[in-house]
Amino acid sequence: MNLAKILLPTLFILALSQAAQAQAQAPANGARPPQDVNVINEAAVAVTNAPTVHVASLPPLTIDMDSRLPYQKSLTADWTTSAVNLIVDVPPGHRFVIEHLSASVFMHSQVEFASMFIATDVNGSSGAHYFNLTETATGFEGSNTYVGSFPVRIYADQSFLARFFKVNAGGQGNAIEMGTASISVSGYLIPYTSPDLSP
């Protein structure tokens, strides 16, 4: 039997088998599957003259707030009638934020303190704020003295009134004409148009 006739069909079948195996391993899109690559004597890459990158610093964050100026006023007046008025000035163009108020009155022992308030205007609206003064040195025969000290938050867009009242409790002659009234206010000024009222 001729050896070539035996080997040729065998080689043909072997070739078909390898082709079918390769086709089965190939991806559906017909692309060649990835192959392992060995890199020998890999070259080193040096980067020269690389540019220096500078990040500019950001500007500081600032909040635009109107300046607040400390402000205080103290007034004293002789109290010769049943009521006395003290006018507290507020500089034009400013709003006065009142943070503390102190008041005191001194009068004859036969005259009693009745009431005290301040009247302020804010954005065209008026308001009266009453304060209760406490009698000190009770039982002292020479005079009646009342004082008060109050942490507050009151706004005034213009000069405002502090008004004190007293009543005669049996005094004779000029008893009701003797006395003084005092007020002190402190806080800060801001521009009249400022939206910032924070303490």
Query: With bands split at pLDDT 50, 70 and 90, how would you rate the model's confidence at 127?
Result: very high
Among 9-13, 55-59, 191-195, the range of highest mean pLDDT: 191-195
Of 92, 90, 84, nearest to 72 by C-alpha is 90
Please give the structure tokens belonging to residue 117: 């308030």
Q: What pLDDT does residue 66 have?
A: 62
What integer pLDDT is reported at residue 160 of this predicted model?
96
User: What's the pTM?
Assistant: 0.62
| CA atoms within a 13 Å half-sphere pointing along the CA-CB vector of 141 | 0
**193: pLDDT confidence band, cut at 50, 70 and 90?**
confident
CA atoms within 13 A on the CB side of 92: 0
Starting at the edge strand found earlier in the chain, the sheet holding 94-108 runs: 69-78, 179-191, 94-108, 143-156, 134-136
Q: Residues 6 or more apart from 59 whose CB is under 8 A from it?
A: none
Work out the average pLDDT over 69-86. Answer: 92
pLDDT over 70 percentage in the chain = 58
Ordered structural domains, the chain, with CATH = 69-191 (2.60.120)
